[in-house]
Amino acid sequence: MRPTTRVRRCDRSSIRVLFDLAERTDGDLVRLEVGEPDFDTPEHAKEAAIAAIDDGATNYTSNAGLAALRTAIADTLAREYDHAYDSDDVLVTTGGMEALHLACLSVLEPGDDLLIPSPGWPNYWTQARLADATPVEIPMPFPYDLDADRVIDQMGPDTGAVMLCSPSNPTGRVFENDAVARVIDAAREHDAYVIADEVYASLTYDRDPVGMATLVGDSAHIITVGSCSKSHAMTGWRVGWLATESDVIDEATKIRESTTASTPTPSQHAALAALDGSQEPVREMQTAFADRRDYVADRLADMTGVTAPRSQGAFYAFLDPDGYDDSMALAKELVTDAGVVLAPGSGFGDAGAGKLRLSFANSLDRLETGLDRLDAFL
């Protein structure tokens, strides 16, 4: 076997390292390392997939996805986040991850920089490397708001794109509109793109969600990435999208012909029902996550030995425990000595060193037990 430099430059996610350790460890662990909703997929989405299978809707679809689903995605983006995309501006993808991959392959030239405000999701580093681009980490100051000046200062002739994730995985921060708009304007001046990762857009706690492209009026040089995974508890169905100017959609669609070709057809039918049908299950999840956010934020605020900004979105709290530099060692110790599993912050860039990510995609009972154990340990 002769793995290429491209592949060797990619690292395994530290979240998965802890996941594997937890799987190998006996005993009652409170698992707060993984970022996926602990709710079931809405019933009407499951029924639509079963009906699609029964009706023989099991062939390829067009590379860009079912026409009805592209329309449903455009409608959802307009209804929930004020976006103004047409169905032709939408490409159905196999999860938000494929959308990020296609976005990077479509707009990054080999050798370009992908600017990543950090702490940031590890996948961004890999996506840059797979596109033969260079990931450039830009640490954001505590409490991890988007510092537009820091990002703009890094822009130059090599900047291919900027990755903005809001609400943020791992910090739970929702970026200020002004800062986002300034970064978009500056990126455009450099003929660079903004990849707006909005997979957590449905989960904001203190203000209404807003699409990043809407802040500057049009979608030129902005690629919006979304998915049903977090909003509709559909991680395993693998339905996501990218929405942007139609020439980028055309290029990304060409790539899909040679990769996944199309998203599994029953999953597309499930996503169509999820987006077009009742949003009641989504609202219930949002309420549950808001309650958990309050609980986790209040507990962390009362705890000694740790600082954590109050999460504003997604389902993560980002913890800075006093006196630790090595978050991987700390996370492993927490598994073996305290029975609680958190993701090491170092996996989210240098800015995450010594920190931990806690996912509150778990019941209030389990969160209480996990936080009691963390408190006792610290």
Footprint of ligand PLP (CB under 6 A): 35, 95-97, 121, 165, 169, 197, 199, 227, 229, 235, 240
What single-letter DSSP state applies at residue 106?
Answer: H
Closest separation between CB of residue 235 and ligand PLP, Å? 5
Closest separation between CB of residue 171 and ligand PLP, Å? 11
Could you tell me which residues come within 8 angstroms of residue 244 by beta carbon, excluding any fewer than 6 positions away?
89, 103, 219, 222, 223, 224
Whichever of 169 and 362 has its CB closer to ligand PLP, that residue is: 169
Whichever of 96 and 354 has its CB closer to ligand PLP, that residue is: 96
Whichever of 85 and 241 has its CB closer to ligand PLP, that residue is: 241
DSSP labels for 253-286?
Answer: HHHHTTTT-S--HHHHHHHHHHHHS--HHHHHHH
To which H or E segment does residue 165 belong?
A: strand 159-165
Whichever of 299 and 357 has its CB closer to ligand PLP, that residue is: 357
Closest separation between CB of residue 237 and ligand PLP, Å? 9
Whichever of 311 and 339 has its CB closer to ligand PLP, that residue is: 311
- 185, amino acid identity: D
Closest separation between CB of residue 228 and ligand PLP, Å? 7
Whichever of 140 and 338 has its CB closer to ligand PLP, that residue is: 140
Closest separation between CB of residue 54 and ligand PLP, Å? 26
281 preceded by cis ω (within 30°)? no
Structural Rg of the chain based on CA atoms: 20
From residue 310, alpha-carbon distances to 21, 191, 275, 290, 300 in Å are: 28, 35, 30, 12, 9
340 by DSSP, 3-state: which?
strand
Residue nearest to ligand PLP according to CB distances in the complex: 95
363 by DSSP, 3-state: which?
coil
Closest separation between CB of residue 265 and ligand PLP, Å? 18
